[in-house]
Chains A and B, each alone.
Chain A
Amino acid sequence: MRFFYILFLLFSLIRAESDVSLTIKKNVGSKAGIFIENISSGLMPAISQKSFILFKDDLTLSGNFEIVESKNISGSDNYLLKYDLSGANGANLNVSLFNGDGNSLLFQKNYNISSFDKYPFLIHKAVSDINKFLGYNSMEWINRLVLMSRYIGPGKSEIVLSDYTFTYKKAIIRDGLNLFPKWANKSQTSFYYTSMSSGLPTVYEYNIINGAKTYIASSEGMIVCSDVSSDGGRLLLTMSPDGQPDIYEFDKTTKKSVKLTDFSGIDVSGQYLSNGKEIVFVSNRLGYPNIFKKYIDSPTVSQMVFKGRENNSCDTKGNKVVYSSRESKNIFGSNTFNIYMISNGITFPITSSGENQFPRFSDDGSVVMYIRQSNGNSYAGFVNPRTNQNKLFEINSRVQSIDW
Chain B
Amino acid sequence: MLGAKIAVARAAGALSRSSGRGATSLPGKLLMRMEPRAIERLARRLPQGSAVISATNGKTTTAAMVAAILERSGTRLVHNRAGANMAGGVASVLLAAARGDGIDGDAGLFEVDEFWLDRVVAQLRPRALLLANLFRDQLDRYGELETIADRWAATVAAAPDATLVLNADDPLVADLGRQRPPRQVVYFGLEDDGLALSQMAHASDSKHCRRCGAPYVYDAIHMGHLGRYHCPNGDSRRPRPDVQATGVELDGTRGARFALHVGAQHAVVALPLPGLYNVYNALGAAALASALGAPLGQIVEGLQATQAAFGRAETVSLGGRELAILLVKNPAGANEVLRTLALDDGDHDVLAVLNDNTADGRDISWVWDVDFELVARRVRRVTCSGTRAAELALRLKYAGVAPERLHVEPALERGLDAALADGAGRLVALPTYTAMLALRELLVARGAARGSFR
- A and B from one complex: no
Q: Could you tell me which A residues sit within 8 Å of B by CB distance? A: none
Q: Could you tell me which B residues sit within 8 Å of A by CB distance? A: none
